[in-house]
Amino acid sequence: MPTEMLRFPSAKGHELGGTLVQAEGEWVDAPRATALFAHCFTCTMKSHAAVRLSRALAQQGVQVLRFDFTGLGESEGAFARSGFAANVNDVVSASEALSAGGHAPALLIGHSLGGAAVLAAASRIPSARAVVTLGAPYEVDHVLDQLGDSLKRIEKDGSAQVEIGGRPFEVSREFLDGTRGQGQRSRIETLRRALLVMHSPTDQIVGIEHAAKIFTAAKHPKSYVSLDDADHLLTRAADTEYAAGVITAWLQRYVDLPRE
């Protein structure tokens, strides 16, 4: 599958790394649309969901840029001092890099906390006509629950090393400040983009009630599709292939996507 490595600056001047997965087959020279994918909390653009979903969409003619948030994977900067606000700025920076290359994104896709980030960034991306969330939290503070008892140590000492998903991460008070009080409800209410909420009712990390709150807050046009028994990280290939098929079909109504 043809890919292109991209490097582009963040709002704070750090170099971020991304991979543009190019459309395949008859769509190689003229992609049906361009999408921007934001990965889950502490994941990277090499996560199962990021890789498989971008490949599946590329096979259907939609090219996808997946990238690493500040301080993760191929991107520079300190994860410890980033937080959700930095994630939102990174989404905007990625969209600007695509636009500069003549591929302004019509679709924003976000997985888990990346879903919350694309909801928050959409109003700052003029080319975006549609937004898709997969297992996204409604309250951004929800992600801080994963810090457990370390939250008090971070507040007291200014920073602490925590274990998230079996891996160690340094997290600072600046990270907490950049994640709390984000006002997602008003952002969702004024989204003014077509919205597709995808969520598994058996998600053990971000409960299905978050999908209900996002869907209720959003104005039409909006749609909800159940991911049935998929796990939060979408580790099964069948789940990402299903999601890609639904997204492509849904896009037909909201983006100038040539029909096959």
Domains and CATH numbers, the chain: 3-140+184-254 (3.40.50.1820)
Contacts of 194 (CB under 8 A, 6+ apart): 129, 130, 131, 221, 222, 223, 253, 254
Residue pair 54/66 in contact by the 8 Å Cβ criterion: yes
The per-residue pLDDT for 31 is 92
The predicted structure's pLDDT at residue 260: 55
- Model-level pTM greater than 0.85? yes
Q: What is the pLDDT of residue 88?
A: 97
Largest CA distance in the chain: 58
- The single residue listed with the structure tokens 């695509």 is 98
Residues of the chain with pLDDT under 50: none
Predicted confidence at residue 259, as pLDDT, reads 57
| Cα–Cα dist 131/252, whole Å | 13
Q: Which residues pair with 45 in a beta bridge?
A: none
* pLDDT on residue 182: 86
Q: Which residue has the tokens 């606000």?
A: 85
Per-residue three-class SS string for the chain: CCEEEEEEECCCCCEEEEEEECCCHHHCCCCCEEEEEECCCCCCCCCHHHHHHHHHHHHCCEEEEEECCCCCCCCCCCHHHCCHHHHHHHHHHHHHHHHHCCCCCCEEEEECHHHHHHHHHHHHCCCCCEEEEECCCCCHHHHHHHHCCHHHHHHHHCEEEEEECCEEEEEEHHHHHCCCCCCHHHHHHCCCCEEEEEECCCCCCCCHHHHHHHHHHCCCCEEEEECCCCCCCCCCHHHHHHHHHHHHHHHHHHCCCCCC
Per-residue pLDDT, 54: 96
The predicted pLDDT at position 1 comes to 66
Phi (first) and psi of residue 125, to 5 degrees: -120, 95
Cβ-proximal residues to 250 (8 Å cutoff; 6+ apart), any chain: 130, 132, 196, 223, 225
Closest C-alpha to 73, from 38, 104, 21, 116: 38
